[in-house]
Each structure stands twice: as structure tokens, then as C-alpha cells.
Structure 1
Amino acid sequence: MLGTIIVGVILVIIVALIVRSMVHDKKNGKSFTCGGDCGKCKGHCH
């Protein structure tokens, strides 16, 4: 039971860090799909 709770907490922390990173990138004008480098995604960013 305790192991399940610990794994759950770790997963929640990881997901929160990913979402935080995505929000930060979006505020800086980067796309989620190509990192803001339209040369890499063939210009589909903007």
C-alpha cells in the first residue's frame, strides 16, 4: 500500500513538472510540437 502511494506521488510530480515546462515554453512563444524551430517542422508552427 505504501509503495503504491509513493509511486503515485512520484508520477504526479513528474506530470506536474512536464505541464509546468509546457506552460513555460508556451509563454515564451515556443510550440509544443517542434520547440519553436519552424525549420524542423516544415513551417507548421506559426
Structure 2
Amino acid sequence: MGTIIVGSLLAAAVVAVITTLVKNKIKGKSSCSCGCGGDCPHCRH
């Protein structure tokens, strides 16, 4: 049971990272690490 839960958590994390990278590429701003594409107050350029 435990390995299934850990595996699903890892899969969810990988999907989240890929989604963030894709969103940043679509916006053309990959320098913001929080995944908002540089639109957050703490990611001003």
C-alpha cells in the first residue's frame, strides 16, 4: 500500500513540474521559479 501512495505522489509531482515548465514556455518567461510566468509580486522583472 505504501509504495502505491508514494508512487502516485511522485507522479503528481512530476506532472506539476512539467505543467509549470510548459506554462512558462507558453508565456515566454522561464525565469520565475514559482510557475506564475513572472506575473506575481515577488517575481517582478
TM-score relative to the length of structure 1: 0.59
Higher relative contact order (CA 8 A, sep 6+): 2
Instruction: State the distance in 2 between where 1:24 and 1:34 align.
Output: 9
Q: After TM superposition, which residue ranges in structure 1, 4 or more long, deviate above 3 angstroms?
A: 30-34
Percent identical: 19
Report the CA distance shift for 1:12/1:37 in structure 2 as closer, same or farther (over 3 A).
Answer: closer
Structure 2: which 5+ residue stretches go unaligned? none
More helix by share: 2
Number of residue pairs aligned between Structure 1 and Structure 2: 42
Name the residue aligned to 1:9: 7
Structure 1: which 5+ residue stretches go unaligned? none
